[in-house]
Structure 1
């Protein structure tokens, strides 16, 4: 099996780490560094990597000012507890970017919200 480790540039790794942990109902923890953190699933699989803008010389992570954060990117997550994730999402933002609805292409429920750095986060049920 092959897996993708999606890495996004963020202003504050610890803040984004807490936000995503709260969204996915994971126990509290801390990122490994102030410039980099990995959100892991219960089985240890990497869900998302958070990298502070400008911390290293990665060409696409030098500065949020070079491109609008999230432009051309949808963070798409499938969750096994859609209703709990939706409740937690409503606690994290004032308004969802897209209210819950049935996706006609997948036949599953989904909603969307923006994370603290402006990334568009789509949450979809597994069933």
Structure 2
């Protein structure tokens, strides 16, 4: 078993573009209501438009801030390359690249367009 997190977003196209440019993910589905984002042909994140209800209830409550209380954690095999890509994309940086002594690795903390905390970690 492995996780395939799905997050509610306000604009699939904007979020897809942000994750593509900032983390190097690629589209595995396409569309304006739902997206699967891949890294090395493996789905690592799903995006779902907040107000879309194809065959289920909405996955989030309208009016509630998106991203509250959620951290999306990505492990990067080449942390320096990942941080170079991140810096080139110029996202909102919450915590600059640093060594986390508790986890024993380096991390950078950023925000996506909907306010989700995105952490990229590596050695």
Residues 49 and 115 of structure 1, relative CA distance in 2, 3 Å threshold: same
More strand as a share of residues? 2
Partner residue in 2 for 1:80: 77
**Residues 92, 112 of structure 2: 8 Å contact kept:** no
* Structure 1 stretches lacking a partner, 5+ long: none
Residues 70 and 95 of structure 1, relative CA distance in 2, 3 Å threshold: closer
Partner residue in 2 for 1:90: 87
**Residues 111, 123 of structure 1: 8 Å contact kept:** yes
TM-score (norm 1): 0.84
CA RMSD across the alignment: 1.9
**Residues 14, 31 of structure 1: 8 Å contact kept:** no
Residues 97 and 51 of structure 1, relative CA distance in 2, 3 Å threshold: same
Number of residue equivalences = 121
TM-score (norm 2): 0.87
Secondary structure at 1:96 match in 2? strand
* Structure 2 stretches lacking a partner, 5+ long: none
